[in-house]
């Protein structure tokens, strides 16, 4: 018997969990560190189980009753089918499991499971749409560093390239460059060490400097304007008819609204819910289908 539904949004920066009754009544929320599959299957499950345990603990339940739980997960890295299969095979005991990309669960949350389109911009980026006939369309989501245009990691990579040129004396550095250099250690040698350790999440951590300096620094501004054009390109490829509602989602979605071309901004509507809410909806639908 299923007593609890769990919705999980797991990305390269953090994990968010929503816990609900089978009727959809939300009971608790919790958050924790990253659980993208690129960080390892065991690491992903360890993080997810820890955040789920925190959600149950907030209700006074010390041990997760996995056999009574159905879990829906939207995770970064599910595009890699080998990782996805390994993750499902490593289910630690949940009674039912539904897995898809964090982009798809974001889409489900943003439009309440109805037709629509989203561009999700966080550590990575992806565009998802569901057409009126239920067909799914996906654009982007190729991963960092080859893809993930407009994402936090994409912005951070460009910020790092800028400070390399500043430290070399090839270009002039302003407050934006000084802040990024200081964050990465303050010197050429320290930046080299930072580069040797950096992963996608680390690069995404530099995006806040791009956003903070976008109004005054020409380099930061150029990065944000380029990001806005990339979002518009993804949105156009998702829905060339411009008939679907479009939501900007993810941690950087709101920050990039100001940098979108006017025509793309005019198509945007507020998201109804987040990726974890979409994951709840996804597992609920799977259980409904199994019961029929």
Tokens encoding 39: 């960080």
Per-residue pLDDT, 264: 95
Q: Cβ neighbours of residue 72 under 8 Å, at least 6 residues apart?
A: 5, 6, 7, 8, 97, 98, 99, 105, 279, 280, 281, 282, 283, 284, 286
Per-residue pLDDT, 102: 87
Per-residue pLDDT, 235: 96
CB neighbours (10 Å) of residue 83? 18
Q: How confident is the model at residue 292 (pLDDT cuts 50, 70, 90)?
A: low
Q: Cβ neighbours of residue 242 under 8 Å, at least 6 residues apart?
A: 267
The average confidence (pLDDT) of the chain is 94
Angle, in degrees to the nearest 10, between helices 41-57 and 81-89: 50
DSSP string over 256-271: HGGGS-HHHHTTB---
Per-residue pLDDT, 268: 94
What does the pLDDT look like over 183-224, one tens digit per residue?
999 999 999 999 999 998 899 999 999 999 999 999 999 999
HEC string for 98-166: EEEEHHHHHHHHHCCCCCEEEEEECCCEEEEEECCCCCEEEEECCCCCCCCCCCHHHHHHHHHHHHHHH
Per-residue pLDDT, 141: 85
Decide: residue 289, CB within 10 A, 0-12 exposed, 13-18 middle, 19+ buried.
exposed
- Distance of CA 288 to CAs 99, 137, 274, 279, 282, Å? 16, 24, 21, 14, 10
Per-residue pLDDT, 143: 84
CB 141 within 8 A of CB 101: yes
All structural domains of the chain, each given as residue ranges with its CATH number in brackets, are 4-112+272-291 (3.30.420.40), 152-265 (3.30.420.40)
Q: How confident is the model at residue 291 (pLDDT cuts 50, 70, 90)?
A: low
Positive or negative, the CA dihedral 257, 125, 18, 55 is negative
What does the pLDDT look like over 65-114, one tens digit per residue?
999 999 999 998 898 999 999 999 999 999 999 999 888 899 999 998 89
């Amino acid at each position: 018997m299923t007593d609890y539904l769990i919705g999980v949004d797991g990305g390269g920066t953090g994990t968010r969990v929503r816990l609900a009754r089978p009727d959809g009544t939300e009971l608790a929320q919790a958050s924790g560190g990253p659980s993208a599959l690129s960080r390892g299957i065991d690491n992903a499950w360890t993080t997810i189980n820890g955040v789920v345990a925190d959600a149950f603990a907030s209700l006074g339940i010390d041990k997760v009753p996995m056999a009574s739980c159905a879990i829906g997960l939207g995770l970064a890295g599910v595009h890699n089918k080998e990782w996805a299969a390994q993750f499902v095979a490593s289910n630690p005991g949940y009674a039912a499991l539904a897995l898809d990309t964090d982009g798809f669960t974001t889409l489900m949350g943003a439009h309440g499971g109805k037709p629509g389109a989203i561009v999700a911009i966080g550590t990575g980026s992806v565009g998802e749409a569901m057409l009126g006939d239920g067909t799914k369309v996906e654009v982007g989501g190729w991963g960092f560093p080859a893809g993930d245009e407009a994402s936090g990691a994409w912005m951070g990579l460009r910020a790092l390239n800028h400070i390399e040129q500043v430290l070399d004396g090839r270009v002039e550095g302003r407050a934006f460059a000084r802040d990024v250099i200081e964050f990465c250690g303050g010197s050429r040698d320290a930046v080299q060490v930072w580069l040797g350790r950096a992963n996608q999440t680390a690069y995404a951590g530099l995006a806040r400097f791009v956003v903070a300096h976008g109004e005054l620094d020409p380099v930061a501004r150029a990065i944000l304007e380029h990001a806005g054009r990339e979002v518009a390109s993804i949105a156009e490829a998702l829905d060339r008819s411009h008939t679907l509602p479009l939501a900007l989602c993810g941690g950087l979605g709101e920050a990039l609204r100001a940098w979108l071309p006017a025509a793309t901004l005019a198509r945007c509507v507020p998201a109804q819910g987040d990726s974890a809410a979409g994951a709840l909806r996804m597992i609920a639908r799977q259980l409904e289908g199994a019961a029929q």
